[in-house]
């Protein structure tokens, strides 16, 4: 039995029965990292020494009968969440040496549960991308096919879970950055309702869209992880003061009579046929389990990508203004010794940011500039309201909405790197969820002819993660897609 291949709930039984020790789980994790990390490249920083110290604490907690569900469980964290005194780079040269003096709320909550941090995972720089090719350090590869992308921006987190280099991981989702890589890597990824999980200590990309969530091997583990990180946080003004249920309690409940909306706008021309076939088969399976499919319309879906890339880039322009070479992070070195302050700003930002980040800063700055604000940013906010209203109206008739997660399976590395618009369209089915602020999960629902995973997206009402967990679990337990693992 290889402990690194087990789930949180499986390990919990062995740990609580004292059949294994946290150190032994970690030994198998690091054995796996040593064996495959050179191929997958899912991590930026591996915290081996700190992990073994955390394993000692976890072992003592178990001996003292003070273990929680995550005590002794190795978890990877996307490298845009602050971890005190541990490198937090956002995969950017501009933060290549940044060690935060404080801990994010989500990692603080995991620490309180006794988790073990395996390391910080790779991402598209500042979470801007759909393939993890935009990292300032290296490209992460898909464990199912090393010539293909793992998705993005949480590609490192999804790949590390799929490759069994950790038991679970945290990602962040601004326009699909948890769900799309989960789909492409054949794992489970949940974007909670905006405000369900604190963003304190998450390095901001687009503050009205960003949300932290889990990437796991199955639905049960996603519910366990969300239990651990959800809840109100006074350090985050956008954190909702709403009670958090035990999400594991709905797993296994009856789904008979549950109405599932099938939006006609999400089955579009140009979508990969294998993806569409897998998703339609999944809908039939849900119907056989007692769910009732209902065709619905989300009429403003066609405007979602344009709206997102106005609003997200505008917020990025504002948020990334803080990286100036003065307070922390990278600072350009003057060649002449006569560099003035403005030149230092310009050189630091032009050298410190990658191409995609600079592209988005420029787009956002333009959209916010005098004379264009009303035409772009204001109009974008108005269309965002219409997109949210589409979901509000749909949820009057259905309990959840089911769609493909991504229009295609994993594409080849470099295939879309020179065509930003094609890359942006990778998130066409996930972006609306962030604009509306609703929760959504991606679960495995099939494979293409090339043996690449396909994801099914289940979308719920605001703060109704329970319904999507219930449906996702029912589907998962009636199929075996989540049990398949890549052979590295």
Residues with a catalytic annotation lie at: 78, 153, 177
Residue among 97, 112, 98, 103 at smallest CA distance from 82 = 103
Measured between alpha carbons, how far is 43 from 120 in angstroms, rounded to an integer? 6
**Distance between CA atoms of 154 and 187, rounded to whole angstroms?**
12
Q: Are 225 and 216 in contact (CB under 8 A)?
A: yes
Closest CA to 426 of 136, 47, 41, 151: 151
By CB atoms closer than 10 A (0-12, 13-18, 19+), residue 252 is exposed
Question: Alpha carbon of 279 to those of 236, 283, 369: distances in Å?
Answer: 37, 6, 42
444: Cα separation from own chain's centroid: 15
Query: Bridge-partner residues for 190, per DSSP?
Result: 441
- Sequence-ordered list of residues with C-beta below 8 angstroms from that of 219, at least 6 positions apart, any chain: 188, 251, 441, 443, 469, 472, 473, 476, 482
What's the rounded Cα separation, in Å, for the pair 123 and 120? 10
- Distances in Å between the Cα of 103 and the Cα atoms of 63, 394, 463 are 27, 39, 26
Tokens describing residue 229 = 């990180």
CB burial readout 385-396, b (16+ within 10 A) else e: eebbebbeebbe
Residue with tokens 């304190």: 200
User: How many residues are present in the chain?
Assistant: 488
Contact present, 421 and 195 (Cβ < 8 Å): no
- The label of the residue with tokens 């390990």 reads 11
Q: Which two tokens stand for residue 333?
A: 């070195």
Query: Any alpha helices (H) in 177-253, and if so which ranges?
Result: 179-185, 219-229
């Amino acid at each position: 039995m290889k402990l690194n291949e087990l789930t949180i709930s499986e390990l919990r039984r062995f740990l609580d029965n004292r059949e294994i020790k946290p150190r032994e789980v970690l030994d198998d994790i690091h054995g796996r990292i040593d064996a495959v990390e050179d191929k997958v490249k899912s991590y930026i920083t591996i915290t081996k020494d700190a992990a073994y110290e955390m394993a000692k604490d976890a072992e003592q907690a178990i001996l003292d009968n003070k273990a929680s569900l995550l005590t002794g469980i190795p978890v990877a964290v996307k490298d845009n969440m602050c971890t005190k005194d541990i490198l937090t780079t956002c995969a950017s040269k501009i933060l290549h040496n940044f060690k935060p003096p404080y801990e994010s709320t989500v990692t603080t909550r995991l620490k309180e549960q006794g988790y073990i941090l395996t390391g910080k995972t790779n991402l598209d720089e500042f979470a801007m991308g759909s393939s993890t090719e935009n990292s300032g350090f290296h490209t992460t590869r898909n464990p199912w096919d090393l010539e293909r992308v793992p998705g993005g921006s949480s590609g490192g987190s999804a790949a590390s879970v799929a490759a069994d280099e950790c038991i679970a991981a945290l990602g962040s989702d601004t326009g699909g950055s948890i769900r799309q890589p989960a789909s492409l890597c054949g794992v489970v990824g949940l974007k909670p309702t905006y405000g369900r999980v604190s963003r304190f200590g998450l390095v901001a990309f687009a503050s009205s869209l960003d949300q932290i969530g889990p990437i796991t091997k199955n639905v049960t583990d996603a519910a366990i992880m969300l239990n651990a990180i959800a809840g109100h946080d006074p350090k985050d003004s956008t954190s909702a003061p709403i009670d958090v249920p035990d999400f594991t309690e709905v797993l296994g409940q009856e789904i008979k009579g549950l109405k599932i909306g099938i939006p006609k706008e999400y089955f579009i021309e140009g979508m990969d046929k294998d993806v569409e076939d897998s998703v339609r088969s999944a809908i039939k399976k849900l119907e056989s389990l007692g769910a009732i499919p209902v065709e619905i319309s989300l009429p403003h879906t066609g405007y979602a990508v344009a709206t997102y890339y106005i609003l997200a880039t505008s917020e990025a322009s504002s948020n990334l203004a803080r990286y100036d070479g003065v307070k922390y992070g990278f600072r350009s070195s003057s060649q002449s010794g006569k560099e003035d302050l403005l030149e230092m700003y310009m050189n630091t930002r032009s050298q410190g940011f990658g191409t995609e980040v600079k592209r988005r800063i420029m787009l956002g700055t333009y959209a916010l500039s005098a004379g264009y604000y009303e035409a772009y940013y204001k109009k974008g906010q108005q269309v965002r309201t219409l997109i949210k209203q589409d979901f509000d109206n749909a949820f009057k008739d259905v309990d959840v909405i089911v769609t493909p997660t991504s229009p295609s399976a994993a594409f080849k590395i470099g295939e879309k790197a020179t065509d930003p618009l094609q890359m942006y369209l990778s998130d066409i089915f996930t972006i609306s969820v962030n604009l509306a602020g609703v929760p959504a999960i991606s679960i495995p629902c099939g494979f293409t002819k090339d043996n690449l995973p396909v994801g099914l997206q289940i979308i719920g009402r605001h703060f109704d993660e329970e319904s999507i967990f219930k449906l996702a679990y029912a589907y998962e337990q009636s199929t075996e897609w989540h049990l398949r693992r890549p052979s590295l």
